[in-house]
A and B are shown apart, each in its own frame.
Chain A
């Protein structure tokens, strides 16, 4: 067991895998444990970027790049909210309710997740249902599977995103015809004051 680990570690891919694993685990630990919003956000972003390294190691270039693009953008939006609500240079006072309960529930759900994903791997039942086509690029492979086997989930996801987008526009767009920077009421007041003079 231990010898296997050493041997895997000494190959380039094994070394990269263990390096990325240690880094992502460490970074996500910082995300959870840090009291500083800036550290938490930054380690979250860095961890998400490093996860794309696993995809590259597995030869799934396209998914790796998608991971990179999507999470860089998504977490950038989170930063915007963090900026509005927190002072980035100070620590946050956390309000912890019943640490034991949180620990037990968090640990249990983590355990269940690990079991769910590790059980098929352990019994070596994982077979690639759609193996990579020779001579076709990564993006094309994803496209073929997406538009044949997974067409319905794909379209449903697209529909849901459309609904979310329209809802977002309706919620945010109530006063869109009024420009905040060109608020005329202030100008009117100034004009009135001038007229009085």
Chain B
């Protein structure tokens, strides 16, 4: 019923109220935090099965309650601040990572619009928009906010008076300077095709079924964006910042308890953001015409999440110099050539 309303009437009919936005923000925070927690369990299980292990099995059926056990551990662990550390920055750094990850999600359409049914007390009839803040430069905003999130690892590494931390933050800087160009250039070609920076426009431009997905027109940009996305979220093969085998734990060496946990909530939230961007920009997004659109986008996001775990299980880490070589000498020229070809095809 509501879905037909949404597609027949222009958006302006549904007035976006402050209450609706606040509800949306609470939903994003609650759902994404929960998924981030659940993501750790999924990651351990998927990696275990790919490596012919069982993974967590002891707490609850199939180890499902492992999340609760981990949560209790994180919350009750002592919050240690090293003696020579810059205490204020050390305490703020994890909050930057977690906060920017969620701020980035505020401009991403996570679920379709819906109206709370009338029978719900107090909030009945409130229209909850698909995006908490529908700014018309959503793509840039999300990428910028995710880039700002790298200040978390950078400051954490520099403030903790630990050599491993310094190496971790130095690697943060070079990783950022390497992938940022590729992310921007790879997503530029689809932006040129759609002619807009708004996620809603991207979604509407691909509403004609699977054949209208941008991945068929921009396969190169899709692969480049995925590779840059792995670097953006510090996933293997690019998790140089806290590569355990080389730099102990990099920027997170001195962290414990909930501050450490916040880094990882931020990382998982960023993984979900990249998955959402990839599915909206290249894979058609949430189909507004289809009743099951919300289900399809969740499946697409889940696929990208799984892909990240899959790659982690099958690829080795790269060295920092290999990352720079890859980004600047291989991916960036390909992205530029892709843009030039796209522009020529559009002109002709």
Contact = CB atoms under 8 A, between A and B. Distances in A.
Do A and B make up one complex?
yes
A45 B173 CA distance: 14
Contact of B148 (A49, A80, A88, A137): A49
Nearest to B158: A88
A122 B170 CA distance: 47
Given A39-B89, A88-B158, A73 B173 contact: no
B158 A38 contact: yes
Contacts of B333: none
B182 interface: no
Given A65-B141, A88-B86, A139-B197, A80 B321 contact: no
A181 B325 CA distance: 13
Interface in A90-140: 137-139
Contacts of A72: 144, 147-148, 151
Contacts of B180: 73
Given A73-B176, A80-B170, A88-B86, A138 B136 contact: yes
B148 A38 contact: no
A77 B180 CA distance: 12
Interface in A62-86: 62, 65-66, 68-69, 72-73, 76-77, 79-80, 83
Interface residues of B, number: 35
A180 B321 CA distance: 9
B196 interface: yes
B177 interface: yes
Given A73-B177, A76-B177, A77-B173, A68 B144 contact: yes
B323 interface: no
B95 to A, nearest CB: 12
Contact of B159 (A45, A80, A89, A139): A89
Contacts of A56: 135
Interface SS of chain B: helix, strand, loop or mixed?
helix
A163 B316 CA distance: 38
Contacts of B143: 69
A66 B141 CA distance: 9
B140 A65 contact: yes
A36 interface: yes
Chain A interface bracket (under 10, 10 to 19, 20 to 34, 35 or more):
20 to 34
Contacts of B170: 80, 83
Contacts of B74: none
A38 B144 contact: no
Contacts of B177: 73, 76-77, 80
B65 interface: no
A179 interface: yes
B85 A89 contact: yes
B154 interface: yes
A73 B150 CA distance: 10
A61 B137 CA distance: 7
Contacts of A89: 84-86, 159, 161
Contacts of B89: 38-39, 42
A76 B136 contact: no
Contacts of A66: 140
Interface in B224-259: none
Given A76-B154, A76-B176, A179-B321, A69 B144 contact: yes
A47 to B, nearest CB: 13
Most interface-central of A39, A61, A80, A88 (chain B CB within 10 A): A88
A61 B173 contact: no
Nearest to B191: A139
B188 interface: no
B169 interface: yes
B73 interface: no
Interface in B124-155: 135-137, 140-141, 143-145, 147-148, 150-151, 154-155
Nearest to B143: A69
Given A38-B155, A69-B143, A76-B154, A83 B169 contact: yes
B77 interface: no
A49 B96 CA distance: 12
A180 B325 CA distance: 13
15 contacts: A42-B151, A49-B148, A61-B135, A68-B144, A72-B147, A73-B147, A73-B180, A76-B154, A76-B173, A79-B158, A83-B169, A89-B159, A137-B137, A137-B196, A137-B198
| Shortest beta-carbon contacts, A-B, top 10 | A68-B144, A69-B144, A65-B140, A88-B158, A80-B173, A89-B161, A61-B137, A137-B136, A72-B148, A61-B135
Interface of B: 84-86, 88-89, 135-137, 140-141, 143-145, 147-148, 150-151, 154-155, 158-159, 161, 166, 169-170, 173-174, 176-177, 180, 196-198, 319, 321
Given A68-B145, A77-B173, A88-B86, 13 more contacts: A61-B141, A62-B140, A62-B197, A65-B144, A68-B144, A72-B147, A76-B176, A79-B169, A83-B166, A83-B170, A88-B158, A89-B159, A137-B136
